[in-house]
Structure 1
Amino acid sequence: MDDYAKKARDLYNRRGSINSKTDDKGVTRVYDETTGLFGSYNRDGSSRTIFKPEKGKAYWDKQPGK
């Protein structure tokens, strides 16, 4: 598993202990305030993207989902 895939999987697996929300299409978004890492995942848990948004928490706050 490459580093990107490992980071994506590790972030997703921590979704119960960090900020996470799922929209009405089943897309789960996860944000770790400590590292600033944001991830978006399909309904099946596969990674859509991970990155560190420039505006961190403000970016997270604008994401859809509950």
Structure 2
Amino acid sequence: MCKKVIEILASISIILSLSACAELKQTGKDIGHTTKKVTTAIGHGTRDTVKAIGHETKEVINEIKESD
């Protein structure tokens, strides 16, 4: 009787462990995708800012050249 109880408890714990692993794996994927989206957004924002600064700098330099 005791052996059967141990087998049942072991089976239940294995099933719960597999379920927990699947949830942990999905959580890891969600975190990874979110991190990728955030870093992409930061990168694109930085790129756009640098381009805008470059264009403004070019315009200022051209105005200085024209005024000479």
State the TM-score, normalizing by the size of structure 2.
0.22
- Higher CA-based Rg: 2
TM-score by length of 1: 0.23
Task: Please identify which structure carries the higher helix content.
Answer: 2
Structure of greater relative contact order (alpha carbons < 8 Å, 6+ residues apart): 1
Higher strand share: 1
